Chains A and B, each alone.
Chain A
């Protein structure tokens, strides 16, 4: 899970999520949620195609850094129960 490289211009290990121009303002709620969705969608698609899920690690690192632990736990519970509102 810690194998994601930081995005192209930087060298070395993962420091922290870079600036995302899709979410330039103070409200980062959607940044966290979008990366959480993108990770699960990426995993689902890669598994469906039988490919490695390594590229999905980026989304994991971003949502893991940004999203409060309680939110992630709640969403995981909802996914397990089938009550998660997002489209994965």
Chain B
């Protein structure tokens, strides 16, 4: 989950998020290189007594600083589009889970077989046990099997919300009357935290999401116990 003084993204939990991390590293490096070059040139310009007032044409440098940025943009666009198409690949989910946003909690429905549904409220700060995370823990976590492709359908029962889990690279708007689909695949077990990401009223900051990714056998035991 997020930690104090965090600068970068959370550790990736899905292959797509890993790709996004690498892409971000690549693009940010380009940004740093260009910024340092520009700052260096500015510093050179400001620290010399030499002047040159007779520039008439600069064909060569104009060509270079047109072609080079075009190349750099292509070097950014190609990996970006690769990841975009990767996110859109047709995969065959093994499980469908629905999440409905409410003011101010999420509810989850697992209806592939029986009707399993429950609400997930934030645990108030005054009721936290030692070691639990403030504003992030919930009473009923979303238990899911790891290493399986899961279809998440996100909607809302009242106003706009957004269902986000940063370590999986997921953020999907919850819109009343609309069913938005996203795909969830976690490479490892664990607890993954997220928060509502669309302003939805007074307790918008107090409706977190906690995914508990477990091996399939534990998921089956849990779902049987929840019915």
Contact = CB atoms under 8 A, between A and B. Distances in A.
Interface of A: 2, 14-19, 24, 26-29, 31-32, 64-70
B111 A69 contact: yes
Nearest to B94: A15
A53 B194 CA distance: 43
Contacts of B180: 26-28
Given A68-B155, A69-B109, A70-B157, A16 B179 contact: no
Contacts of A17: 96, 151
B117 interface: yes
Interface of B: 90, 92-96, 98, 100, 109, 111-113, 115, 117, 151, 153, 155, 157, 172, 177-182
Nearest to A63: B111
Contacts, number: 58
13 contacts: A14-B112, A16-B93, A16-B96, A17-B96, A27-B179, A29-B179, A31-B179, A65-B96, A66-B98, A66-B179, A67-B179, A69-B111, A69-B117
Contact of B112 (A15, A26, A68): A15
B93 to A, nearest CB: 6
Contacts of A31: 179
B92 A66 contact: no
A32 B115 contact: no
Given A15-B94, A16-B151, A70-B157, A65 B179 contact: no
Contacts of A19: 90, 92
A66 B157 CA distance: 15
Nearest to A31: B179
Given A16-B93, A24-B90, A64-B111, 11 more contacts: A15-B95, A16-B112, A16-B151, A29-B179, A31-B179, A32-B179, A66-B153, A68-B109, A68-B153, A69-B111, A69-B117
A29 B111 CA distance: 16
